[in-house]
Amino acid sequence: MVEGIDEMKIGRFQVMGMLQAARAYVLGLSREQSLSWGLNRAIFYAAAKRDFRPRPPGEGESVAGERERESFFLGDTMAYRVEGKGGMLFTIGGEVQKARDFERQIASRFKGGFDDAWEEALGIVRSYDREVLLSQDDFFERVYKPRRDELAEKWSELFS
């Protein structure tokens, strides 16, 4: 195996980020907010997979304005939000997820094919009833899980 080759592959993290961003967009968030949401949820699920335990509120928080964070619900899914110059963004682990962070960690893997993958993700998400999109469990089980590996493989072949 060539060193670093997996770094360029599109994996489950990127698939989760794309589908979650598309979910947020379809449910009415702006594109920038949706990208923040998508990266936030991808980080959340990656941390949960590693049995991450969140710190108690206020312990170890370092981002300016973090104490002003508030809960935000997209359906029954909760994330912390902060208000900044550009409006509402999401935060996890003391870090605010910005559109440029989504670009660096997710979109850049698509090597110029991001818009095509974004349209495919939107199409997938739009094919489900709103009730499915509003449910964290239903979204994970019915939208993401059945196609995560298929999309990672397809998008890796097409775009990386």
Closest CA to 23 of 110, 100, 130, 115: 130
- Across all residues in the chain, what is the average pLDDT? 87
Name the pTM for this structure: 0.85
In a domain, 96, yes or no: yes
Question: Would the pLDDT of 100 be above 80?
Answer: yes
The secondary structure element, H or E, covering residue 16 is: helix 12-26
3-state secondary structure labels for all residues of 94-139: CEEECHHHHHHHCHHHHCCCHHHHHHHHHHHHHCCCHHHHHCHHHH
In a domain, 128, yes or no: yes
Question: Would the pLDDT of 122 be above 80?
Answer: yes
Determine the structural domain holding residue 135 and report its residue range: 5-154
Number of domains in the chain: 1
* pLDDT of res. 54: 52
